[in-house]
Structure 1
Amino acid sequence: MGLLEELKTRMLTADGAMGTLLYSYGIDYCNEELNLQKPEIIEKIHQDYIAAGADIIQTNTYGANAIKLERYGLENQIKEINEAAIQIAKRAAAPGGQFVLGTIGGIRGIRKSDATIEDIVRMVDQQANHLLTGNPDGLLLETYYDFEELSATVKYLRSITNTPIIAQVSMHEPGILQNGLALNDALHQLEALGADIVGVNCRLGPHHTIQAFEEVTLPKKAFLSAFPNASLLDVEDGRIVYESEADYFGRAALLLREEGVRLIGGCCGTTPKHIEAVKKYIGNLAPITNKVVTPRKPIVIRDAEPPKSQPIHEKVKTERTIIVELDTPRHLDITTFIEGSKALHATGIDAITMADNSLASPRISNLAMGSMLKLEHKIRPLTHITCRDRNLIGLQSHLMGLDALGMHDILAITGDPTKVGDFPGATSVYDVSSMELIQLIKQLNEGISFSGKPLRKKANFSVAAAFNPNVRVLDRAVQRLEKKIESGADYFITQPVFTKEKIQEIYEATKHLSTPIFIGVMPLTSIRSSEFLHNEVPGIKLSEDALERMRACGEDKDRATAEGIQIAKELIDTAAELFNGIYIITPFLRYDTSLELIKYIQEIDAKKERDHTYVQTSN
């Protein structure tokens, strides 16, 4: 009798964690390589789970795909590793006739950039075909946080095999996926795609797994499965541990049965003792066939408060918009920064932008200074957020704080690596890329946290993305812009540009895009700083003409400043003709130079308006 036939009439017990046991043996490298190097260890673990009462065991192939094996230089041994794994499992199961599942693990977490769907399907095809060669009783898809990935995988596998498919999602929060989709909806969608068994595994312990199933209705054709962790994880003396009594885990299996689950196994932290306890409590019990679900009252997500001023990305579509960058201080004296901000604001600019520890050097928090500008001086702040300094927890907390303060203008960037800054030994986090950060911010705008949890209110962020046009092949940079637009970018802010020709090239390369672009203009102040920018700062390249003009000023500071302003004005002439958005980058808190450039832009616009009025009057 096959796996699905068995599940029609009785509960089945699957095995528990493989990695937990290997970790306890002191093995902390590529688990899948052991299929070739130490197959006796893997077979012994299978046998221990079978002895504990498991009706089903799974192959040691969770990470046996090209991406994960590449970390260990084993990407050319995918065939050997997968085929060996199923042979080992079949050998262990032969005496007792246990079912053997070929395991395929998820690849994406929060980061969609880890692999495209096309890459994932290609790898699934490769791994699945090696597993199917061994004629498994089913294919187990486990630990999938990204529902798009799991859906594509199920759909593809169903197109190439009739072998039973078990599709299991993983959740950060009970009952909801990280994209905000309800577990019940997700499982029924997987059933519709062709999965024979649908369920959950990993991340949550028994308590929260049971809670998640309380709102899950019984599928029409598929069966439900659950492979909880032993408990929430803990760390003791640098080692990961799971605190859970086996008997507690076994009693939880009875509660999972009441929620309609027919296949119960274990994930992280579980051992043969946990599986023995599950078998003790559920034995060969018949599964329940009827279940009444009382939906919980849904959490209402309120709309965001209407913005008090027009979003920058909307205004710039139709009229001149000027934003000015002013770096927060690297010391604790904020006098000049506040004075400069007030002077710039008085000119009527649209926002003051503040970098997020540019060049990986610590400055006063732009959240602190931005809130001070907004609350005390009624100045609109546009804060930069890097992926470098905060993990996902810190990023979401930071963004929630910005929303609470009413600071809704953001530039999302990757951030310079710590090696270029004051503390080269510091850790660069980079949990996500700038594109993924944009997507997550837009998810907050829907009232959904990074983990999928409802936030009770929608955020209202206007999100800018960075654009570095100072590259050899501009078309590639524009392709990256298009991907950022797909991620949700509302507008772009460029690195400083130092030639009229580059501005014109940007216009021609991006005129097919409807997403606004702010052209960055940075007044130079000396030949030394110019050489530094040109030769050492990533993403900035000066023209040879600009460098020669600054060299001609020698050490005359006043002459150098005047020349730098003149170069900037010439760039503004071209930028203002082709783009509504101008981004002035204030050098070294020299806000007097920015004030002169703002005045120049306003004079250009005033003259243009006078000329337009004159033409209309003449006609």
Structure 2
Amino acid sequence: MDFKTALKQRVLVADGAMGTLLYGNYGINSAFENLNLTHPDTILRVHQSYISAGADVIQTNTYAANRLKLTRYDLQDQVTAINKAAVKLAETAKHAADHPVYVLGTIGGLAGDTDQAVQQATPAAIQASLTEQLQALLATKQLDGILLETYYDLPELLTALKIVKAQTDLPVITNVSMLAPGVLRDGTTFADAVIQLAAAGADVIGTNCRLGPYYLAQSFEKLAVPATVKLAVYPNSGLPGTDQDGHVVYDGDPSYFEEYAERFRQLGLNLIGGCCGTTPLHTAALVRGLASRAIVPHTAVAQPQSAPTLASTIGPHPFLQKVATQKTALVELDPPKDFDTAKFFNGAQRLKAAGVDGITLSDNSLASVRISNATIAAQLKLSYGITPIVHLTTRDHNLIGLQSEIMGLHSLGIEDILAVTGDPAKLGDFPGATSVGDVRSVELIKLIKQFNSGIGPTGKSLKQATDFRVAAAFNPNAYRTNVSTKSIERKRNYGCDYIITQPVFDIKNVQALADALKTNDLHVPVFVGVMPLVSYRNAAFLHHEVHGIRLPQTVLDRMKQAEQAGNERAVGIQIAKELIDGICDCFNGVHIVTPFNRFKTVIELVDYVQQKNLTSVQ
């Protein structure tokens, strides 16, 4: 009897975890998929343990056996060997079983993975990686089906399904992973995902990982999809914890799975297995818990019901409207390092009076501790009527903290954010501090913009849509600016609305940036950085010690001469004005960095930018 026929006749029990079992029970913490080659007896023993526990379906040890994931271990050229060995081991266990067993070739999702090779991969590279692994699995001609599991993004899973269906007639199981019961992280309901996957040709559709039996059962309780759809569930053993050494552990009692087995069957599930934290004991518990193997029909519905979405109502954002047609000045200020904030707010008021269009607030620049920029931003907006643009770094906040900060900013009515990585923690006041880096700056952009849909990262409704405009940073001082603009295109694809550059001191870099944007047909507002020099020593420090900033020798020479002549401030302002002239020939946006709280200098430059608009009118 083939796998498709078996699915129609009875509820099947699938195996459980491979990775967490190898980690927790065998003490292995490496490339689990490579064990197919280096420790085949261990993998075979795992398969045999699940079969002995009563599993009807087992999956190959190939979840991350793709080129992108294996690059981390320098095993990218072993894709074919690892996948073929995995199938052989599963087949060996199958043929030694005392009851019918079906083998699924497993391919895991990649979207949202923190591995560097995956993060930097293009959609085309991800598809090529999947295709290569799929072909290696299919080349064995021994599989009973393909399992696409742990897909957080429905579009990625639909693409993977399309690729698989084009190359094989084997049945395909597609499992999404939900961060909250009944909804994917982009707000798509589980019901809609099931319907879309069914329409795309999936033979079995379900969910795995992240959540335990309690929440996954909730996801199926109100699931209304066509009666012809076959359903699968692979819950985690429960929520993970950590031991005294900080290692992730699962301690879910297998008897809990026994309680849920019959409940899953009554909800209309055709295939019931386990994911992270589960063991052969959980599989045996599922087998014991099933009162029958008879299939229970689930609820059918004629038309899919889409999840309610909250449309983003984008507000005015005056400085972004202005920069489309006029010269516009933003000014960067560092929040105070102590509680004497009078000078800071007095300077901010003077900048407002001078006509500055917005004030950007750094997030502990150079990794030096300052008052929270969100707190300062709230005071600027609420007490002084100044538009703040808050820098938000991935350095200081983990994924939980980032979301909390984003929600807090919206609650304060602050809707402009510059998403940046942040200077390395070791540069600052506490070199022993660590940089977090849960996500990259581009992923932070995407995270912020998702809030504009009124849907949080877990897929839950926020009861209100935000109105964020997100800036991305860019360094035009880098060599080969025309090539570097690819990063701007990437940031635009992730949702950034405008660009703020690092300070420039060579107008050739500005012109090269403008040419590159035009050549690549990139239309995005750009605010080019200008940092007025206050002394020769300041210029030399920036040139020699600050990463990403280089000054032309002519500028260094002029500041050196100014030091000797005693007119460094005047020369520094003149150089800044010359740069503004060149910037305004190419762009409408200027971002002035305030040096050492020299508000008088910055106000003069803001006024100079404003005069450009008067000159153009005349």
| TM-score bucket of the superposed structures, by smaller chain | over 0.9
Deviations along 1:532-589, whole A, 9 cap, x unmatched? 1112222222222111100112267x61111101111112223234332221111111
2:63 is matched with 62
Q: Is the 8 A contact 1:520 1:585 kept in 2?
A: yes
Shift of 1:178: 1.4
CA distance in 2, matches of 1:159, 1:518: 47
- Match status 1:183 vs 2:190: yes
Bigger mean CA offset, 430-439 vs 496-505: 496-505
Shift of 1:294: 12
CA distance in 1, matches of 2:113, 2:29: 24
Shift of 1:12: 0.4
Deviations along 1:93-124, whole A, 9 cap, x unmatched? 11333111111112222667353222222222
Choose which of 101, 124, 129 in structure 2 pairs with 1:123: 129
Question: Are residues 128 and 500 of structure 1, via their aligned partners in 2, closer, same or farther at CA, if it must alter by over 3 Å?
Answer: closer
Shift of 1:326: 1.1
Deviations along 1:265-307, whole A, 9 cap, x unmatched? 0011111121111111226521112426799999866666774
- Match status 1:51 vs 2:39: no
Choose which of 348, 352, 357 in structure 2 pairs with 1:350: 357
Question: Are residues 149 and 297 of structure 1, via their aligned partners in 2, closer, same or farther at CA, if it must alter by over 3 Å?
Answer: closer
SS for the counterpart of 1:553 is helix
- Match status 1:398 vs 2:405: yes
CA distance in 2, matches of 1:73, 1:474: 31
SS for the counterpart of 2:93 is helix
CA distance in 2, matches of 1:164, 1:282: 24
Question: Are residues 80 and 579 of structure 1, via their aligned partners in 2, closer, same or farther at CA, if it must alter by over 3 Å?
Answer: closer
- Match status 1:217 vs 2:233: no
TM-score after normalising by structure 2: 0.93
Q: 1:533-572 maps to which residues of 2 (within 5 A)?
A: 533-554=542-563, 559-572=567-580
CA distance in 2, matches of 1:194, 1:296: 17
1:425 is matched with 432
CA distance in 1, matches of 2:307, 2:205: 25
CA distance in 1, matches of 2:431, 2:67: 32
Question: Are residues 175 and 313 of structure 1, via their aligned partners in 2, closer, same or farther at CA, if it must alter by over 3 Å?
Answer: same
CA distance in 2, matches of 1:350, 1:479: 28
SS for the counterpart of 2:596 is helix
Number of residue equivalences: 608
CA distance in 2, matches of 1:373, 1:17: 52
1:389 is matched with 396
2:15 is matched with 15
Shift of 1:422: 3.1
Question: Are residues 354 and 491 of structure 1, via their aligned partners in 2, closer, same or farther at CA, if it must alter by over 3 Å?
Answer: same
2:607 is matched with 599
Question: Are residues 102 and 501 of structure 1, via their aligned partners in 2, closer, same or farther at CA, if it must alter by over 3 Å?
Answer: closer
CA distance in 1, matches of 2:69, 2:492: 29
SS for the counterpart of 2:542 is helix
Q: Is the 8 A contact 1:215 1:293 kept in 2?
A: no
CA distance in 1, matches of 2:284, 2:10: 17
- What amino acid does structure 2 have at the position aligned with 1:519? V
Shift of 1:220: 5.4
Deviations along 1:182-237, whole A, 9 cap, x unmatched? 11111221222222111100000000001112232344544110000011111121
- What amino acid does structure 1 have at the position aligned with 2:260? A
Deviations along 1:507-533, whole A, 9 cap, x unmatched? 333344432111221110111111111
Cα-Cα RMSD = 2.3
Q: Is the 8 A contact 2:326 2:613 kept in 1?
A: no
1:104 is matched with 107
Q: Is the 8 A contact 1:299 1:454 kept in 2?
A: no
Q: Is the 8 A contact 1:474 1:509 kept in 2?
A: yes
CA distance in 1, matches of 2:17, 2:37: 19
- What amino acid does structure 2 have at the position aligned with 1:534? H
Shift of 1:39: 1.6
Bigger mean CA offset, 125-134 vs 539-548: 125-134
Shift of 1:3: 0.9
Q: Is the 8 A contact 1:303 1:457 kept in 2?
A: no
CA distance in 2, matches of 1:296, 1:144: 21
Q: 1:442-461 maps to which residues of 2 (within 5 A)?
A: 442-461=449-468
Shift of 1:36: 1.9
CA distance in 2, matches of 1:293, 1:259: 15
Choose which of 106, 129, 145 in structure 2 pairs with 1:138: 145
Q: 1:277-426 maps to which residues of 2 (within 5 A)?
A: 277-282=285-290, 284-291=292-299, 307=315, 310-426=317-433
Contiguous gaps of at least 5 residues in structure 2: none
Choose which of 500, 510, 526 in structure 2 pairs with 1:517: 526
Q: 1:125-204 maps to which residues of 2 (within 5 A)?
A: 125-134=131-140, 135-204=142-211
Question: Are residues 524 and 90 of structure 1, via their aligned partners in 2, closer, same or farther at CA, if it must alter by over 3 Å?
Answer: same
SS for the counterpart of 2:9 is coil
Shift of 1:248: 1.8
Shift of 1:73: 2.4
- What amino acid does structure 2 have at the position aligned with 1:69? L
Question: Are residues 84 and 396 of structure 1, via their aligned partners in 2, closer, same or farther at CA, if it must alter by over 3 Å?
Answer: same
Q: Is the 8 A contact 2:33 2:61 kept in 1?
A: yes
1:578 is matched with 586
- Match status 1:490 vs 2:469: no
CA distance in 1, matches of 2:120, 2:57: 31
- What amino acid does structure 1 have at the position aligned with 2:9? T
2:241 is matched with 234
- Match status 1:28 vs 2:29: yes
TM-score after normalising by structure 1: 0.93
- Match status 1:500 vs 2:507: yes
- What amino acid does structure 2 have at the position aligned with 1:544? Q
